[in-house]
Amino acid sequence: MSERPQLRATRASAVSRRRVLVAGAAGAVGAAVALAGQSAEQPGRPHVPVDPTKAQGPGASDIGARSPFEQPRRVSLNQRRTSSQTPLQDLEGIITPSDLHFERHHGGVPAIDPTRYSLLIHGMVERPLIFTLEDLKRFPARSIIRSVECSGNGGRAYRNEDIIPHLTPQQIDGLTSTSEWTGVPVATLFREAGASAKAEWFLAEGMDAAMLTRSIPMAKAYDDALIVYAQNGEALRPEQGYPARLFLPGFEGSSSVKWIRRLELAAEPFMTREETSKYTDPLPDGTARIFSLVMDAKSIITEPAYPDRLTGPGWWEIRGLAWTGRGRITQVDVSVDGGKTWHAATLDEPVLPKCHTRFRYAWDWKGGEAVLMSRATDETGYVQPTLEVLMAARGPATAYHFNNIRAWRVAQSGSVTFAGGGA
Ligand SMILES: Nc1nc2c(c(=O)[nH]1)N[C@H]1C(S)=C(S)[C@@H](COP(=O)(O)O)O[C@H]1N2
Ligand SMILES: [Mo]
């Protein structure tokens, strides 16, 4: 049903990616000549003067924009555009530019006037309260750098029929992104309302057409839950929940309810659609995992990856991202022989809890066939499982939490293709 847009997206990114790598191999001098010289006249290339030192450029601007030579794009999984994915292979470091943060909308992006916005807190509280956006901003604020991941992320590294060679990191695992989030602790608001000690759960409800609702354990409110109104230094983007969203670090994305309008405290979970029919994990023995909120440790190599082609033997830096909902990543191991031997990768600072961590491993490619894999370990000792181990535990019917090890196959020609779990 959704094959066409996927294939088109693959080809488009294939071209841009390969061009970057070839330019790198040709050397900085060749690339600079191409940029300053003939390339300016090539159709489809942005116009630049032959010698940029000979003409004064435009002055200061009110709002910045990317170089026209850089065109990173989100891609949508399906024609209904219910989600779009972050181009993991095009990014450096750990912060996702806000306009490339992945999106997942159950009922589209609502238009909300911030001056008419309010958040209601009620249920098992002494004083039901309504906060305006200005009220929320007046409380002591907190800023944290954390990732979000949709629990549906990575299904194509799990289900046999979806493991096809021509998938990019974006298409496999692009439903995860990292931002600096600013807001007020939910605990502060609950204390203000006089939350009952007998409340064990709270309902979070969004003001979009889906009116998405999830039940959240009260312990999370007193741990690190936030109502956030800013992302990477400015107001939240509409797609991320403007003007305010619930943010639950390390929990599956669907529980970080966007466009948040209501929190209701209760003794029991509410058993909404999104935690009964959806977001539970049917197991092979006929039972189901329910409230599987914490995201397990995971990693993916983002370079080299399809559609990269290694231009020759020698040193290549294997780069990727690792993360866990349980705290910090403590180790990432890389294999270049399909999991037979493993080597510790270097972790870039900062290594933050519940956050993407950048790993690197210098690889001397001898020119033969290779299978590249990464394996994350977190501070609880949890190790990212193989596809075989995860499949045995969860079975084929599950629809969320696909954190198995991913593999890339390098051919003798240097071309790189996706190889699922590596078997
Ligand atoms: N109100 C509301 N909140 C929502 C959703 C939604 O559709 N409506 N989608 C959820 C899902 S499934 C995910 S994965 C995250 C995605 O957050 P993002 O779009 O900011 O990346 O938001 C969650 N919060
Ligand atoms: Mo999600």
Q: What is the pLDDT of residues 187-207, one digit of tens each?
A: 999 999 999 999 999 999 999
Residues in contact with 369: Cβ distance below 8 Å, sequence separation at least 6, in sequence order: 409, 410, 411, 412
For residue 371, the one-letter residue type is V
Same domain for 201 and 332, yes or no, is: no
Residue where the block lists tokens 């298409």: 171
DSSP, collapsed to helix, strand or coil, labels residue 332 as strand
| Continuous segment of H or E residues that includes residue 26 | helix 3-26
> What does pTM read for this prediction?
0.91
Query: Could you tell which of 119, 227, 258, 293 is best to mutate to test the pocket of ligand 1, judged by most ligand atoms within 8 Å of the CB?
Result: 258
Same domain for 272 and 315, yes or no, is: no
In a domain, 337, yes or no: yes
Same domain for 33 and 159, yes or no, is: no
What per-residue confidence (pLDDT) applies to 46? 84
Same domain for 341 and 411, yes or no, is: yes
- Tell me the C-alpha distance between 228 and 44, whole Å: 41
In a domain, 63, yes or no: no
45 band by pLDDT with thresholds 50, 70 and 90: confident
* Nearest listed ligand to the Cα of residue 256: 1
320-336 per-position pLDDT tens digit:
999 999 999 999 999 99
What per-residue confidence (pLDDT) applies to 14? 40
Q: Can you tell me the mean pLDDT for 249-275?
A: 98
In a domain, 213, yes or no: yes
Whether residue 26 is predicted with pLDDT greater than 70 in this model: the reply is no
Same domain for 149 and 191, yes or no, is: yes
Same domain for 105 and 153, yes or no, is: yes
Instruction: Mean pLDDT check: name the lowest of 33-42, 58-67, 163-172.
Output: 33-42
β-strand 245-247 against 234-235: which pairing, if any? unpaired
Q: Can you tell me the mean pLDDT for 39-64?
A: 85
Query: Could you tell which of 74, 150, 226, 245 is best to mutate to test the pocket of ligand 1, judged by most ligand atoms within 8 Å of the CB?
Result: 150
Domain of residue 18 covers 10-53
Contact by Cβ (8 Å): 319, 56? no
According to DSSP, the residues that pair with 278 across neighbouring strands are none
Q: Can you tell me the mean pLDDT for 368-374?
A: 98
Contact by Cβ (8 Å): 337, 301? no
Count the domains in the chain.
3
Domain closes at, from 279, 309, 324: 279
Q: Which residues line ligand 1 at a C-beta cut-off of 6 Å?
A: 101-106, 148, 150, 206, 208, 210, 212, 239-240, 253-254, 256-259
What per-residue confidence (pLDDT) applies to 162? 86
Q: Ligand 1 atom 16: the closest Cα is on which residue?
A: 104
What per-residue confidence (pLDDT) applies to 423? 62
Instruction: Mean pLDDT check: name the lowest of 55-59, 121-125, 256-260, 385-389.
Output: 55-59
Q: Can you tell me the mean pLDDT for 83-109?
A: 98
Please state, as a whole number, how many other Cβ atoms lie within 10 Å of the Cβ of residue 380.
12
* Dist. CA 139 → ligand 2 center (Å): 29
Q: Can you tell me the mean pLDDT for 105-134?
A: 98
Structure tokens at 194: 């006089």
* Nearest listed ligand to the Cα of residue 258: 1
Backbone angle region of 292, left / alpha / beta, with phi > 0 → left and psi within -120 to 50 → alpha: beta
* Sheet order of strands, 103-104 included: 75-76, 83-85, 103-104
Whether residue 21 is predicted with pLDDT greater than 60 in this model: the reply is no
- Tell me the C-alpha distance between 423 and 421, whole Å: 6
What per-residue confidence (pLDDT) applies to 160? 86
Same domain for 172 and 220, yes or no, is: yes
* Dist. CA 32 → ligand 2 center (Å): 42
* Dist. CA 256 → ligand 2 center (Å): 9
What per-residue confidence (pLDDT) applies to 161? 87
Same domain for 172 and 37, yes or no, is: no
Q: Can you tell me the mean pLDDT for 366-380?
A: 98
Same domain for 116 and 223, yes or no, is: yes
Same domain for 254 and 217, yes or no, is: yes
* Dist. CA 255 → ligand 1 center (Å): 8
* Dist. CA 258 → ligand 1 center (Å): 6
Same domain for 104 and 214, yes or no, is: yes
- Tell me the C-alpha distance between 331 and 33, whole Å: 42
Whether residue 142 is predicted with pLDDT greater than 50 in this model: the reply is yes
For residue 63, the one-letter residue type is I
What per-residue confidence (pLDDT) applies to 41? 60
| Continuous segment of H or E residues that includes residue 409 | strand 407-410
Instruction: Give the Å distances, CA to CA, from 307 to 12, 150, 257, 410.
Output: 10, 24, 35, 11
* Nearest listed ligand to the Cα of residue 103: 1
* Nearest listed ligand to the Cα of residue 237: 1
Residue, of 11 and 303, whose pLDDT is higher: 303
Interhelix angle 28-36/3-26, rounded to 10 degrees, is 110
Question: Nearest-5° angle of CA 27, CA 33, CA 38?
Answer: 135
Please state, as a whole number, how many other Cβ atoms lie within 10 Å of the Cβ of residue 282.
15
Same domain for 306 and 404, yes or no, is: yes
What per-residue confidence (pLDDT) applies to 362? 98
For residue 403, the one-letter residue type is N
Q: Can you tell me the mean pLDDT for 21-25?
A: 39
Closest atom, ligand 1, to C-alpha of 259: 1
